[in-house]
Structure 1
Amino acid sequence: MPTERADAARNRRAILAATERLLAEHRPQDISMERVAAASGVAKGTVFHRFGNRAGLMLALMVERAHALEDAVRTGPPPLGEGAPDRERLLAFVAAIVDVVSRNKSLLAELARSGVTVPSSEEYHRSQPNPHAVYEFWHGHISTLLRAENPAVDADTLAHLILGALHSDPILAQLTDQGPDRLKAALHALITAQLDAK
C-alpha cells in the first residue's frame, strides 16, 4: 500500500475518532456517513471517497482497534509480547481477543448484519487495509502457539473454531448479558484440554 499523504492521514484519524465518539453514544446502525462527516469536520465527499460506505467505515474502525492488539503481540511486553512461555502467550492472546470482541460487539453485529459489503472500485481498495488481515494474523498467531505447545493438535482447525465462535450471535448475546469472563474461562478450559491431550 502506498504511503499515506499527511492530509489524508489527518482526515482518516479525524473520521475514525469522530466515529468512535458517536459509537459511544449511538448504535452503529444509527450513525450515518453524513453524521460522521459533520462530527469530524471533514467534507462528506471525503468520508465517502475514503471509506466508500458505512460498512467500509465500520470495518476500517474495527481493523484499527484490532491493530492495537497486534502491536502488543509484536512489540509489547509479555505475556502478549515475546518472553513468556508459548502456553501463557496463547491464553493471554485469546483472552485479549475476547476483550476486543466484547468491547466491539455492537460493531461486529453491525458488520455481520451489513455483510461487510464495501465498494469494489480499485481506487477504494488501494486505500484500505486488507479486511482479512486481522483474522489472518489472529489465526496464524493462535495456530502457531498451539502447534508449538502440542504438535499433535489440529492447530489450524482449532484456531478457526475459536475465532469463529466469537462472531456467533449466541456468543455476542452472552457477552452483552454477562460480560467476557465466562467466555474467557470456557476458552481457557478448551485450549488447556487440547494442549494436554495425548
Structure 2
Amino acid sequence: MGPALSIVDSEPAERADAARNRKLLLDAAVELVRRDGADALTMDAVAKQAGVGKGTVFRRFGNRAGLMYALLDESDRNLQAAYMFGPPPLGPGAPPLERLVAYGRARLTLTEIEGDVLRAATISSPDRYAGPPYNLTKTHVSILLRQAGIPGEIALIADALLAPLDASLVLHQTRQLGFTLAQVGDNWEALVRRVVPAAGEDHRAVE
C-alpha cells in the first residue's frame, strides 16, 4: 500500500517539475531573443542562460526549431488567454470594434518582443495558414466581425485584416522603412475602423 501511494502522489509533483523546467527554459530563450535577437537562440545559449545542461534543452524541445515553435506556442497561448478571459478591451465585455483594435495592438507588441522568432518560423512554415495558431487567431477575428454585423465573406475579410500584422512585414516596415511600431499600430487601427462601422460598437462580444 505504501509504495502504491508514493507512486500516485509523485505524478503531480513530476508534472509540476516538468512545467517549471519548461517555463525556466522558455524564459531564458525569451531573454536571449530580447537581448541578442533570434540568431543567438541556440540550444547551448539557452542552456547557459537557464543554468542547466544542454541535454536538458534537447530533451525538452528536440532541436532549435522545436524550441522556436515552443516560444511561439507560449506567446499564442498567453494572447489567447488574454482575449478569451482577460479584461476588456482585449477580453470580453468591450464592443467588437474596440476588441479588434486591442487585439491588433497586442499582436504587434508580441512581434516587437519576439519578431525575429516569428519571422524565422513564418519563413520555415509554408502551411502556416492551415495550422492551429493562425486558425485560432482567424476564428477570433471572424467572430468579432460577425458580432459587428460586417457583410461579405468573413473569412476573406479576416485574412485581409490579419495580413498587415504578419511578423515579416512588420519587421520590414520598422527596420527597413523606418516606421515606428506605434505608427504601424495606428495604421492598422485606421484600417479596422474603415472596415468595421461605428455602429458595430453597439454590439457586445459573447465569447
Please confirm whether the aligned pair reaches a TM-score higher than 0.5, indicating the same fold.
Answer: yes
The offset of 1:105, in angstroms, is 1.4
Q: Distance in 1 between matches of 2:77 and 2:161?
A: 19
Task: Indicate the residue corresponding to 1:25 in structure 2.
Answer: 35
Partner of 2:94: 84
% identical aligned pairs: 36
What is the rounded CA distance, in whole Å, between the counterparts of 1:46 and 1:70 in structure 2?
28
Inter-CA distance 65–83: structure 2 relative to 1 (3 Å threshold):
same
Amino acid at match of 1:18: A
- Name the structure with the higher helix share: 2
Q: Which residue of 2 aligns with 1:122?
A: none
Per-residue CA distance 1:19-63 (angstroms, 9 max, x = gap): 122223212122310221122133322211221211211121122
Alignment of 1:1-198 (within 5 A): 5-113=15-123, 115=124, 132-167=131-166, 169-176=168-175, 177-196=178-197
1:17–1:163 CA distance, 2 compared to 1 (3 A): same
Equivalent residue of 2:36, what SS? coil
C-alpha displacement at 1:184, in angstroms?
Answer: 1.8
* Contact 2:91–2:99 (CA under 8 A) maintained in structure 1: yes
Change (3 A) 1:72 1:154: same
**Alignment length, in residue pairs?**
181
Change (3 A) 1:185 1:64: same
Shift of 1:89: 1.4
Structure 1 residues 86-144: Cα deviation after superposition (integer angstroms, max 9, x where no partner): 2211221122212222322122223234x159xxxxxxxxxxxxx94332221111111
After superposition, the Cα gap between the structure-2 partners of 1:153 and 1:64, relative to the gap in structure 1 and judged at 3 Å, is same
C-alpha distance 40-116 of structure 1, shift in aligned 2 (>3 A)? farther
CA contact (8 A) 1:166 1:172 kept: no
Pairwise CA RMSD of aligned residues? 2.5
CA distance in 2, matches of 1:65, 1:23: 13
How far apart, CA to CA, are the structure 1 residues paired with 2:118 and 2:66? 13
Contact 1:66 1:100 in 2 (8 A): no
Structure 1 Cα separation of the partners of residues 75 and 170 of structure 2 = 20
Larger Rg: 2
User: In structure 1, what is the Cα distance between the partners aligned to 2:110 and 2:167?
Assistant: 15
2: CA distance between counterparts of 1:84 and 1:18? 35
- Unaligned runs of at least 5 residues, structure 2: 1-11, 199-207
Q: 5+ residue gaps in structure 1?
A: 118-130
Question: How does the TM-score come out when normalised to structure 1?
Answer: 0.79
Residues 30 and 114 in structure 2, CA contact (< 8 A), matched pair in contact too: no
Task: Give the deviation of 1:70 after TM superposition.
Answer: 1.5
Decide which moves more: 137-146 or 187-196.
187-196
- Detail structure 1 runs of 4+ shifted over 4 Å in the superposition: none
